[in-house]
Amino acid sequence: MSEPLLVLALEGIPEVQPGDDLGTLLGAALARTGGALPLRADDVLVVTSKIVAKAEGAFVDLATVQPRPEAVEFASRWSRDPRQVEVVMRQAVRVVRADLGVLVVETRHGFVLANAGVDASNVGPRSGAVVLLLPDDPDASARRIRGAIADRFGVAPAVVVSDSMGRPWRVGITDCAIGVAGMRPLDDLRGTPDADGRPMSATIRAVADEIAAAAELALGKTARRPAALVRGATPPTGEGSIAEVIFPPEYDLFR
């Protein structure tokens, strides 16, 4: 019998403010959440990018933003806030699509995201006046959280920083990993035999993304639940970096 997969939404995380110590907040939440302790080294702590970015102060005050003419034009065509569009354009290293009011862009990190992951929902008390960017270096954010958890509990679970992403051809968003620490994001089965002994040619499991998706099921979008503990997912061992998930341009059919 295999171990069940268990996802626990962490309890009682307050509204996160710039400068908050996420490691401390998450450690307290783990201690408060029934069934979370004792932590295991193969647990995965999933933390939404929203609270990581809030703690890191990745806000942009829209009153300070002077939109460029292209942002004004796009915003007026699609009834959007030109200052928000400007912020998205600043986060983009490449525009993949700009239509129907959505800018799909490649960020500095290499992610291709609608509106560059710039977020106006659930941004806290200054809602409407500010938007939230992605964390600057989500792998580093994950490593810091992992270090703090290890210091407190003497066990170092893996950490995934998650964010919501749309996808071509399918309606709706799923949560994916934008940063990892203490696990590799992919489980590369290429060349290993299938159940019939035939080598699998193209099977790379996107485990960190599936872990982020499982966490989102337990967290939802409206309640104040920004972190979850995932137990039983068998995360691939290794230090890991989300860069492993970014398609090299020469293999990217959709670049």
Binders of a second copy among residues 180 to 199 (CB under 8 A) are 185-186, 189, 192-198
CA–CA gap between residue 24 and residue 7 (Å, rounded): 21
Q: Based on the shown chain and the rule CB under 8 A, indicate whether residue 97 belongs to the binding site for a second copy.
A: yes
Residue 112 or 116 with smaller CB distance to a second copy? 112
SS3 135: coil
CA–CA gap between residue 177 and residue 114 (Å, rounded): 15
Q: Based on the shown chain and the rule CB under 8 A, indicate whether residue 46 belongs to the binding site for a second copy.
A: no
**CA nearest 162: which of 239, 231, 242, 238?**
242
CA–CA gap between residue 94 and residue 90 (Å, rounded): 10
Q: Based on the shown chain and the rule CB under 8 A, indicate whether residue 234 belongs to the binding site for a second copy.
A: yes
Q: Based on the shown chain and the rule CB under 8 A, indicate whether residue 206 belongs to the binding site for a second copy.
A: yes
- Residue 71's φ and ψ, nearest 5 degrees, are -70, -40
Residue 139 or 175 with smaller CB distance to a second copy? 175
Q: Which two tokens stand for residue 202?
A: 């193209």
Q: Based on the shown chain and the rule CB under 8 A, indicate whether residue 245 belongs to the binding site for a second copy.
A: yes
Residue 28 or 150 with smaller CB distance to a second copy? 28
Q: Based on the shown chain and the rule CB under 8 A, indicate whether residue 123 belongs to the binding site for a second copy.
A: yes
Instruction: Report the amino acid identity of residue 15.
Output: E
As measured in angstroms, the least distance from the Cβ of 151 to a second copy is 26
Per CB under 8 A, the list member of 24, 76, 121, 237 interacting with a second copy is 121
Residue 22 or 131 with smaller CB distance to a second copy? 131
Q: Which two tokens stand for residue 253?
A: 């059919």
